[in-house]
Amino acid sequence: MGTLSGIADTDRRVIVLALARMVGAAGNSFLIVVLPLYIASDLIDIGALLGTEVGVGAASVTVTEPLLIGLVLSLFGFLNSLSQPVTGRLSDRMGVRRPFVLIGILLLGTASGLYTVATVYWQLIALRAIQGLGAALIIPATVALVNEYASADADRGGNFGVYNTFRLIGFGFGPVLAGAVVEAGPYDLSPIGLPVVGGFDAAFAAACGGAYLSFGLVFLLVRDAAESSEASDDLSIRVRGEDRLLDPIFALGLATVAMGLCIALYATLQNQVNVRLDQAPVWFGLQFAAVTIANVVLQVPVGQASDRIGRRPFLLAGFVLLVPTTLLQGIVTDPIVMTLVRLAQGVAVACVFAPSLALAGDLAREGESGTTLSVLTMGFGFGIALGPLASGWLVGFGFLVPFAVGAGLAVVAFAAVVTQVEETLDTSDDAEAVAAD
């Protein structure tokens, strides 16, 4: 009930933007499940790449199927995250957000449709790169809009909670639907005068359609915030803090890299996990979505609670919980237990997601939301990109190794938050304001 009442009290502009992102995210997340299966099928020629050596001497790596899958999944995140400071800064310079979102959605949707004609591995690489650039246009602009829609600091956590809830509904349940779409194919459309459509083509078409529907929602219902203004000349990302080693936003961005990596380690290991746990593919889809399910339930309550209690307590709790929930994924051997561990990891992420974005919004100067918030969205995207690639390589040393490395990085992230990030919200003033209302 807390989530539903929180959504009902949210600025309608945030809800509209969140709904549009939910539809687009559902279409894009189809690819997280579909692309690994597509690469492993006989529809994509990877035989000539398997077994080859890349690199020189001790730094050489043998190309395997998990590594090729990890590269495709990671490329999206690398281009997405590394481009976000540029696109966020550009949207600040121009003082607009909506055009960036619309162009990005078109790139994502069109590339999804073009997967239906891809037959070789490098075509997948090119299309995934285009999608990465499209996401880089969308993400900083949308979070900047959500930040600018907040009428006060005490609304910011709730806004980001609602936005993340809808976006994650699409992102989390997309993979479950994708697995069902692929398994149910091929689809005989001859009764309506169309050819037979394979399961993969149907999934790619669904991803494309979702993106175009999202475009329509944004085009018709989303406008730039009235209070948006052009940024100042200084749009640099601060690394050093005024009274400590690191700027708090930069420190939290580094911690967010670790969080993104921890939850993305699982993505590349679909085949290995299914064999190890002796489970059907549908279990993997559920386990992958479990992180998102927990976020859907908790984003709004956590975001609104951070508006009352403060940001830092939730950040610390989230990073503490991230350590064991990451490590246990390399240890458990039961499908049900794995699902519960992934749910617990989702609780950890929920404690960090909305409060961290709200903290960045608290500190952002007027007209610089895109630049400031892009530090966190870039960090998360970079972690999501690095996770599949790292697990695709580290799993060669043992199934536990990727998750042990991720847990170690989560410890470092917790230390960074403890030492470098302070509370940004004056909770005493907020409490007085709430009482006055």
pLDDT tens per residue, range 107-148: 988 998 999 888 888 899 999 999 889 988 988 888 888 888
What's the pLDDT score for residue 258?
93
pLDDT over threshold 70, residue 231: no
Other Cβ atoms less than 10 A from the Cβ of 211: the count is: 27
CB of 329 within 8 A of CB of 266?
yes
Kindly provide the b/e burial profile for residues 342-373, where b requires at least 16 CB atoms within 10 angstroms of the residue's own CB: bbbbbbbbbbbbbbbbbbbbbbbeebbbbbbb
Please name which of 407, 404, 391 lies closest in space to residue 71, comparing C-alpha atoms: 391
Model confidence band, residue 358 (pLDDT cutoffs 50, 70, 90): confident
Alpha-carbon distance of 82 to 93, in angstroms, equals 18
Instruction: Report, as an integer, the average pLDDT of 289-318.
Output: 88
Give tens-digit pLDDT for 377-423. Answer: 888 878 887 887 788 889 889 999 999 999 999 999 999 999 988 87
The angle subtended at Cα 255 by Cα 313 and Cα 243, nearest 5°, is 75
The answer to whether residue 337 scores a pLDDT higher than 90 is: yes
- Rounded to a whole number of angstroms, the distance between the first and last alpha carbons of the chain is 22
Please state at what angle helix 401-420 crosses helix 312-327, rounded to 10 degrees: 160
How far is Cα 170 from Cα 117, in angstroms, rounded to an integer?
25
Structural contact between residues 45 and 64, judged by C-beta atoms closer than 8 angstroms: no
Mean pLDDT, the chain, whole residue set = 82
Residues with Cβ within 8 Å of 12's Cβ and at least 6 positions away in sequence, in order, are: none
Residue 316 has pLDDT above 90, yes or no: yes
Confidence of residue 151 (pLDDT cuts 50, 70, 90): low
pTM for the model stands at 0.74
- Number of Cβ within 10 Å of residue 78's Cβ equals 19
According to CATH, the superfamily of the domain at 2-227+238-436 is MFS general substrate transporter like domains (1.20.1250.20)
Residues in the chain: 437
48-52, 343-347, 404-408: which range is least confident on average?
48-52
